[in-house]
Amino acid sequence: MTFPSLLPQLPQVRGQYIENAPLSDITWLRVGGPAQVLYLPADEADLARFLAETPEDIPVHVLGAGSNTLVRDRGVPGVVIRLTPAFARAQVLEGNRIRIGTALLDKMAAKAAAKAGIAGLEFYVGVPGTIGGAIRMNAGCYGSETKDVLVEAIALDRRGRRLIVMPDELGHAYRHCAAPEDWIFTEAVFEGRADEPAAILTRMDEITRRRSETQPIREKTSGSTFKNPDQKQSKGRSAWQLVEAVGGRGRRKGGARFSEMHANFLINDGTASAADLEGLVEDIRAEIAAREGVDMHWEVKRIGLPDGDNS
């Protein structure tokens, strides 16, 4: 699908606009149609001006590393923003704190903290994606979450206003953030505790080893597909156990399948369409609801025009 030009409606920026930009190459599932416009902001001030001057009826989406996003085959109308290296810096502060740009990969944030002797952010080495995505979904693993170490975040709202946000304003819960959908996080401050860099790196290596033994991290995947459900409703079962309960482990649809190694991981074998992937997940979701009485919720974010939508 090719979208009409949107550039006459967009403000002049110092960053870059790319029309009908393919997104499949920059998402981990490697599927999906184009963005009507892909915008690469030069810096925070450039992004703020874009937001302030872009008509509010033009849809705006933010795409981080593309690790937790399924772009639909017909593409994404409006503007997709991808933060540039200007948003990927780390600065060590006093008091075992570190300021991190939201475009920095989680694993690189963990390494920057380790090098500075700041413990507590090791878990980020096991989280795919960027710090911005981690804030947006309260990402975590192995018993630690973003909310445990976050001190403050900087966000721009849809009108380009710069906000300093405290953790209690974000409403973080399990894989959830109550911040308005139109906020774009640009940087954040985290606080850990002092420790020897070598000891921190050893713990990070252990997390990496555990992931490689239990998760298909070398496949085209987006990580966990479903959030873990309400424990009372699921009778204590996690998402992967419910997928397995309905025969979902290894289930295929076109080029999409659920991993044999970890039943909650969705994989593109290299030939899948976004419709294959979304359809397979929706099939499993419906079966779990019908047979197990559990409502499952996507952890992967879906963007773009659904099939049959002519808007």
| Residue 287 annotated as catalytic | no
Tell me the three state secondary structure of residue 261: coil
The yes-or-no answer on residue 5 being catalytic is no
Cα torsion at 42, 47, 48, 49 (round to 10°)? Answer: 80
Burial code of 193-216, b = ≥16 C-beta within 10 A, e = fewer?
eebeeeebbebbeebeeebeeebb
With left for phi above 0 and alpha for psi between -120 and 50, is residue 158 left, alpha or beta? alpha
> Catalytic one among 30, 99, 158, 175?
175
- Other CB atoms within a 10 A radius of the CB of residue 43 amount to 14
Q: Active-site residue 224, yes or no?
A: yes
Given the residues 187, 278, 287, 299, the one annotated as active site: 299
Contact 304, 33 (CB under 8 A): yes
Show the tokens assigned to 170.
């974000």
Q: Which two tokens stand for residue 215?
A: 């998760």
The helix or strand, by DSSP H or E, that contains position 114, with its residue range, turns out to be helix 106-115
One of 224, 234, 259, 273 is an active-site residue; which one? 224
User: Do residues 178 and 171 lie in contact, with contact meaning Cβ atoms separated by under 8 Å?
Assistant: yes
Radius of gyration of the chain (CA): 20
The closest alpha carbon to 108, from 92, 84, 131, 140, belongs to: 131
Strands of 256-258's sheet, edge to edge?
220-224, 265-268, 256-258, 252-253
Q: Within the chain, how many helices (H) and strands (E) appear? A: 7, 19
Q: Catalogue the active-site residues.
A: 175, 224, 299
